[in-house]
Homo-oligomer: A and B are copies of this chain.
Amino acid sequence: MKINVIENVLKYNKGQADKNRKLFKGSNILVLNLLSSPGAGKTSLIIETIKRLEGKKNIGVIEGDISSTYDAEKIGKLTSNVVQINTGGTCHLNATMVAQAVSKLKISNLDLIMIENVGNLICPVGFDLGEDYKIVISSVNEGDDKPVKYPPVFIKSNLILLNKMDLIKISDFNQSFFNKKVSELNPDSEVIKISCKTGVGLEKWINWILSRSKDHNG
């Protein structure tokens, strides 16, 4: 019975995700679903991205947390177009939560929505939100074995951002091991090395976004 319930939940979620996708597509909005462990740097990445795209792209942000408005307050210093979802304990966002949040965003003329999922490397992976791309942020200090221990998120993500590269010299992180394991799981994926602290790699990340942005006149 548990399995049936889970199947029903996922089927219902897929239907709502398809509705979200249709809305995003019709509005020419690029939507990114950001996944990571707690503290890997999702919020910092969003902040640095907003700063670098200021005047170029209109951005909306959806912040997912089990409780608190801590991250939305941080983002709120840069843009008023941010909505906090509190899941009330649930370990992932789902498409219905995102639909409700989107209804509170000002979406006219929006180019990009960044969704910060709940900090959890496992559960959010299975829930389609209607996004264009899933992006996993893995940080150097979590260790190079994350692809080995948490394969699904690396298999399902379109891009891997390896964050906190400023710590690489004082860590025992083996970059070739990490890259090898990622490419075994997901040969089509790309790894961009970044540091939200020093700015390393962020230009490449911004170009990744820009090359995927949708043309409002297209």
Give the number of copies in the complex. Answer: 2
Any B CB within 8 A of the CB of A121: yes
Interface residue A19 (Cβ < 8 Å from any Cβ of B):
no
Q: In the complex, what residue of chain B is closest to A41 when comparing beta carbons?
A: B143
- Interface flag for A67 (CB, 8 Å): yes
Within 8 A of B (CB), among A1-45: 1-2, 5, 9, 37-40
A66 CA to B122 CA, complexed, in Å: 9
A145 at interface by CB-CB < 8 Å: yes
Stretch of A101-109, A147-155, A209-217 that contacts chain B: A147-155
> Within the assembled complex, what's the spacing in Å between the Cα atoms of A118 and B170?
26
A91 contacts chain B at the CB level, 8 A cutoff: yes
Interface hub of A37, A38, A70, A152 (most chain B Cβ within 10 A): A38
Assuming the A-B contacts A2-B9, A9-B2, A91-B122, are A148 and B39 also in contact, with contact meaning beta carbons closer than 8 angstroms in the complex?
no
Residues in A123-182 with C-beta less than 8 Å from chain B: 123, 139, 141-143, 145-146, 148-152, 164, 167, 170
Q: Is the CB of A38 within 8 A of B151?
A: no
Closest approach, in angstroms, between the C-beta of A94 and any C-beta of chain B? 12
Can you list 18 A-B contacts (CB < 8 A)?
A1-B5, A2-B9, A5-B5, A38-B149, A39-B141, A39-B146, A40-B142, A66-B149, A67-B149, A67-B151, A68-B149, A68-B151, A70-B148, A91-B123, A120-B122, A120-B123, A122-B123, A141-B164
Given A91-B91, A120-B121, A141-B141, 7 more pairs with CB closer than 8 A: A38-B121, A40-B142, A66-B149, A71-B149, A89-B152, A91-B123, A118-B122
